[in-house]
Amino acid sequence: MLPDESWPCCGHCHQPMQLFVQLDSGDLPADAGQPFGDGVLQVFYCTNMEEECEVLCQAHLPFSEASLSRVIPRDQTQGFDALPVSIPDAFPEQSLTGWSRHNDFPDQQETVAINDDLPDGTLALLHAHRPAPRAGDKLLGWPHWVQKVDYPVCPCCQENMNFVLQLDSLFIALDPQSGQAETTVRGRVMLPEEIKLKLAPLSRTAWRPRIGPAVPGARSKFGGLPLLRPDESWPCCGHCHQPMQLFVQLDSGDLPADAGQPFGDGVLQVFYCTNMEEECEVLCQAHLPFSEASLSRVIPRDQTHGFDALPVTIPDAFPEQSLTGWSRHNDFPDQQETVAINDDLPDGTLALLHAHRPAPRAGDKLLGWPHWVQNVDYPVCPCCQENMNFVLQLDSTDTLPFWFGDYGCAYVFRCENHPEVMTMTWSSRG
């Protein structure tokens, strides 16, 4: 405290606010500089009257009377530690022992403002490999926005203020001996088994395909010649009327046993027009569901006794690659996706999820959660008007040498009520 100063109090209840963090600039890493100048940073927050002060003082907004962030300049730090006061559920004191350095990358929303200053393809690469900045407590880096980007404006100069410090509801601490990340709740370390158990309701199994050279007669493959029904010709684009390229063909008999039959018993096929560069994509709106420039379908088991199509001329045809197996992974939902299921989860589950699993897996995969590169966008079945189920994901330049728009990602869906209704959509990362 400053000389002759009393403990900072809430502007609503007029009770002492709790000290959340106090950092002396002399204890910061040398490479961090002096992000809050030379002195002692303090953050106070009112925890006295449950939610009343938070709501009435709008504690989530800048310059609220229920919080105080300040720096005591170096020449005024010759004061004293305050005498203890009564604060409900006061946090046990924990001393800073050091810092762990990490590289941080901006939020996808944040990059909109800096897009013009980056080389082509940089943002697509960023979004593919770094879905979000680090959650948890941290000094500097990029803010881990859990809603939209929202820098407060200085009331004096009307300029956006600089990010200094992040305090998370469930935060990441680094074990100094093992170097492993640990999740802490009010100072207690959660064991990995606890984290796994708490996140279990959100986990879905995703299967990543393992690919090898073409095998004659193989039903499950990427690229190559499709299986056709008897007396059926190669599926063609509704715009250019040329044969569409086979992107993937999966026989349900080649799926992992634990995956069940997400598209029924038969052979899933996904075709896409690559004949006229961007013309068919644009005119047929190939990124939207039920486009005439793509076809997703299942040939039922009792109709799979046809033949592999004869070769046709397709520009830049993909070399055939056969499915050789699957790799199993646990998948967790996108941050946007969890908004709809928030009410069904125990307190703290989403904060823990966002700290440990910032996004579902990118890349080609069967089942799991979609890796949305734009907004959550499940297509609606035209028959029953219900959202369709996610079945398969095809990502740019993963298995297939193809880019969906600007390094985008494609998704295959099937209606639970009308199993014959299937479609593919895609979104660009850029």
Q: What is the DSSP string of 216-272?
A: TT-SSEESSPPEE-TT-PPPB-TTT-SBPEEEEEEEGGGS-GGG--TT-SEEEEEEE
For domain 204-427, the question of CATH label 3.60.15.10 is answered with no
379 has a pLDDT exceeding 80 = yes
The residue-averaged pLDDT of 347-356 equals 64
Cα–Cα distance, 79 to 116 (Å, whole number): 48
181 has a pLDDT exceeding 50 = no
Which of 392, 413, 429, 390 has the alpha carbon at shortest distance from 290?
Answer: 413
* pTM exceeds cut of 0.75: no
Do residues 201 and 349 lie in contact, with contact meaning Cβ atoms separated by under 8 Å?
A: yes
Q: How far is CA 4 from CA 1, 76, 78, 79, in A?
A: 8, 12, 12, 8
Cα–Cα distance, 38 to 188 (Å, whole number): 32
320 has a pLDDT exceeding 90 = yes
196 has a pLDDT exceeding 90 = no
The residue-averaged pLDDT of 223-250 equals 93
358 has a pLDDT exceeding 60 = no
Query: Is 99 or 183 the better-scoring residue by pLDDT?
Result: 99
The contacts of residue 309 (CB under 8 Å, 6+ apart) are: 225, 226, 227, 228, 234
Cα–Cα distance, 68 to 216 (Å, whole number): 70
Structure tokens at 9: 């109090």
Do residues 392 and 365 lie in contact, with contact meaning Cβ atoms separated by under 8 Å?
A: yes
The contacts of residue 118 (CB under 8 Å, 6+ apart) are: 111
Structure tokens at 215: 């095998």
CA angle, 314 then 316 then 322, to 5°: 90
16 has a pLDDT exceeding 60 = yes
74 three-class SS: helix
178 has a pLDDT exceeding 50 = no
pLDDT of residue 279: 83
184 has a pLDDT exceeding 60 = no
Q: Where are the alpha helices (DSSP H) in 42-165?
A: 52-56, 122-129
